Amino acid sequence: MPESKPERIAAVVVTYNRKSLLVESLDSLLRQSHPLDALYIIDNASADGTYEILLDRGWIRPAERSVETTFHIPEIGRAQIMQAGGSVKAEGLGDGGWVNYRQAAFDDATHAAGNSRVYDAPNADKPVETVRSVALPVSSARSSEVHYVRMPQNTGGAGGFAEGMQRAAAAGFDWLWLMDDDLLTSPDALEALVRKKDTLVASSGEPFILNSLAIARNQTDREQLAFPLQELSAGGDPKVGTYYWHLSQVRGRIENGLYRWACPFNGTFIPARAVEIVGLPNREFFIIGDEKDYLWRLAKKFRLYTVIDSRVFHPQARRLPFDWKQYYNIRNMLVVNRHFRFSGLRNLRLIVLSLARGLRHGRWGLALVLRALRDGLAGRLGRREDLHP
């Protein structure tokens, strides 16, 4: 009987303007005792030097394009490129020389300078992907594919995870490990997930997803949780008002190193076939709630488990300030509540609390809440051009 091929695992990390946290996260992923086969970095059009720091680290390949012939860019062309958010890397641009540019500005600059045409100009409306094989610090004989995907605009966590999962699943990876850029993984976090995955596959035919246990970062208490563990009701819904913020509170409910819950996109480990079964995260959520919506879509087909021995570290979850993000929080949770029984009661509670909080912030606050309530109840999703970073 031929040996089965080892399953291939890809991590998907979504980032936006948090380069320092991202570098820490990626470094921890590349040091896993069970090596990753690939790492997908979905960059939501960061403007803080994320691309440059990843390039300096040698983790990604340059994404720029070359030009047709050697020429000199005069100062007028240079200024137009710089104003468009690009950068000039060389004076002589033949033999593989390149510039980073926005197409319209570059066309204007080269026309003014009387210079050559651009080859293979990137499409400003589509993501650009580069791939590099990176030697792993734990073993120079092993490497991991690092896929850097630059989005044309900020698509939020929803768009970022949908993009990364779609690409990784299409590339043939078997399992996807999903996380934000502020998650720090312990060296054996993936090994613990794989070990428990193998045990469950051998002992049960039920489909499942796993989650690492998210511990609060920068805490002396290593059992203080970054996100609360909750409980499932007999009907499979989350129990209202049940939140456990310390591991000691659930020890009596842990069986074989597993707790029946998952904190989505914080070390969530899913089979790639889940993309075929339940689809991708809904990009139209933009931010907040997309992970919950996807979790409860998964829960209809997969059992949910947190692997207690798979430790990851995340900043302590805090209450959102009352700003533009509250629009997406309120609107999207009204849509997420459709997954549950007694959704009307859940929404009524959300509406009352949201109106009370909005009133405390005057006319602007009330208007924001009312807009979110109208759109959420009507199911009108999508990014709002006046409400984003």
Q: Which residue has the higher pLDDT, 103 or 360?
A: 360
Which residue shows structure tokens 């929803």? Answer: 158
**Residue type present at position 214:** A
Q: Which residue has the higher pLDDT, 110 or 371?
A: 371
Poorest-pLDDT segment among 316-320, 373-377, 380-384? 316-320
Confidence of residue 71 (pLDDT cuts 50, 70, 90): very low
Spatial CA neighbour of 271 closest among 191, 313, 363, 209: 209
Angle, helices 75-83/103-113, rounded to nearest 10 degrees: 170
Average pLDDT, the chain: 87
The two beta strands, 98-100 and 65-66, are: antiparallel
Task: Give the SS3 label for residue 224.
Answer: strand
Instruction: Supply the pLDDT for residue 64.
Output: 60
Count Cα neighbours of 235 within 13 Å in the Cβ-side half-sphere: 8
Confidence of residue 15 (pLDDT cuts 50, 70, 90): very high
- Give backbone dihedrals phi and psi of 292, rounded to 5 degrees, phi first: -70, -45
Q: Please compute the mean of the pLDDT values over residues 244-272 and round it to a whole number.
A: 97
Confidence of residue 365 (pLDDT cuts 50, 70, 90): very high
> What percent of the chain lies above the pLDDT cut of 90?
77
Instruction: Supply the pLDDT for residue 319.
Output: 86
Confidence of residue 55 (pLDDT cuts 50, 70, 90): very high
Task: Tell me the domain boundaries of the chain.
Answer: 9-58+128-314, 65-113, 325-378
Poorest-pLDDT segment among 158-162, 339-343, 369-373? 339-343
Distance CA 32, CA 134 (A): 14
Q: Please compute the mean of the pLDDT values over residues 240-245 and round it to a whole number.
A: 93
Task: Tell how far CA 358 is from the center of its chain.
Answer: 29
Burial of residue 252 (CB within 10 Å: 0-12, 13-18, 19+) is: exposed
**Residue type present at position 329:** N
Tell me the per-residue pLDDT of 262-310, one tens digit each, with 9 for 90 and over: 999 999 999 999 999 999 999 999 999 999 999 999 999 999 999 999 9
> What percent of the chain lies above the pLDDT cut of 70?
84
Q: Is residue 70 over pLDDT 80? A: no
Q: Which CATH code, of 3.90.550.10, 3.50.50.60, 3.40.50.720, 3.40.50.12780, is assigned to 9-58+128-314?
A: 3.90.550.10
Q: Please compute the mean of the pLDDT values over residues 33-52 and round it to a whole number.
A: 97
Q: Is residue 124 over pLDDT 70? A: no
Confidence of residue 120 (pLDDT cuts 50, 70, 90): very low
- Cβ count within 10 A of residue 214: 25
Q: Please compute the mean of the pLDDT values over residues 151-156 and round it to a whole number.
A: 97
Q: Which residue has the higher pLDDT, 93 or 356?
A: 356
Q: Please compute the mean of the pLDDT values over residues 150-173 and round it to a whole number.
A: 98
Tell me the per-residue pLDDT of 206-237, one tens digit each, with 9 for 90 and over: 999 999 999 999 888 999 999 999 999 988 89
Element (H, E) at 161: helix 156-170
Q: Is residue 67 over pLDDT 70? A: no
DSSP 290-355: HHHHHHHHHHTTSEEEEEEEEEEEEPPP-PPPSSTHHHHHHHHHHHHGGGSTTHHHHHHHHHHHHH
Instruction: Supply the pLDDT for residue 111.
Output: 34
The region, left, alpha or beta by phi > 0 then psi within -120 to 50, assigned to residue 35 is beta
Which residue shows structure tokens 């033949």? Answer: 94
Residues 6+ apart with CB under 8 A from 224: 215, 216, 245, 246, 316
Instruction: Supply the pLDDT for residue 3.
Output: 61
Instruction: Supply the pLDDT for residue 139.
Output: 77
